[in-house]
Homo-oligomer: A and B are copies of this chain.
Amino acid sequence: MSDTFAIGELGRATDTKVETVRYYERIGLLSQPRRTSGNYRAYDRGHLNRLSFIRRSRDLGFSLDQVRALLDLADQRDRPCEAVDEIARGHLAAVERKIADLEALRDELRGMVRQCGHGAVRDCRIIEALSPGDALAAAPG
């Protein structure tokens, strides 16, 4: 039974495009696999595990740099995991900030959309809300 995989199989197993797998190799996130006589990449279970880790981390929104750091840490099994915790906490904080930003934005957009009177553009509250207001209109000559 194959305990090596071609790049396409690896991609299907991890829901990753072939180009993306090669990209991860190029940027040094995934180690180079051995090659077959025909110069095809031949991956093993270690690669599969590593790529799964990468994809799961990416799905959780970690940047490639963070993933790289997490992978390095995951390899140092005896070290304390504070650094891991810190990366996760930092990312969590960033996600929470982003949610707050988007919620503020959502509220503004909701307000705009609610006020739209569906008349002519000249009376459109959305356009109005986007247009420079008092600060400019009241600019002293």
List B contacts of A141 (CB < 8 A).
1
For the residues of A in contact with B, the DSSP-based class is helix
B92 touches A110 (CB 8 A): yes
Q: How many copies of this chain does one complex carry?
A: 2
What is the CB-to-nearest-CB distance from A98 to chain B, in angstroms, rounded to a whole number? Answer: 6
Size category of the A interface is 35 or more
List B contacts of A45 (CB < 8 A).
136
What is the CB-to-nearest-CB distance from A45 to chain B, in angstroms, rounded to a whole number? Answer: 7
A108 touches B60 (CB 8 A): yes
Looking at the complex, which one of B84, B92, B95 makes contact with A121 (CB distance below 8 Å)?
A: B84
Binary interface profile of A, 101-115, with partner B (CB < 8 Å = 1, else 0)?
011011011101100
Q: Which A residues have a C-beta under 8 Å from some C-beta of B?
A: 1, 45, 48-49, 52-53, 56-57, 60-61, 70, 73-74, 76-82, 84-85, 88-89, 91-92, 95-96, 98-99, 102-103, 105-106, 108-110, 112-113, 116-124, 126-127, 130-132, 136, 141
List B contacts of A123 (CB < 8 A).
81
Looking at the complex, which one of B52, B119, B130 makes contact with A53 (CB distance below 8 Å)?
A: B130
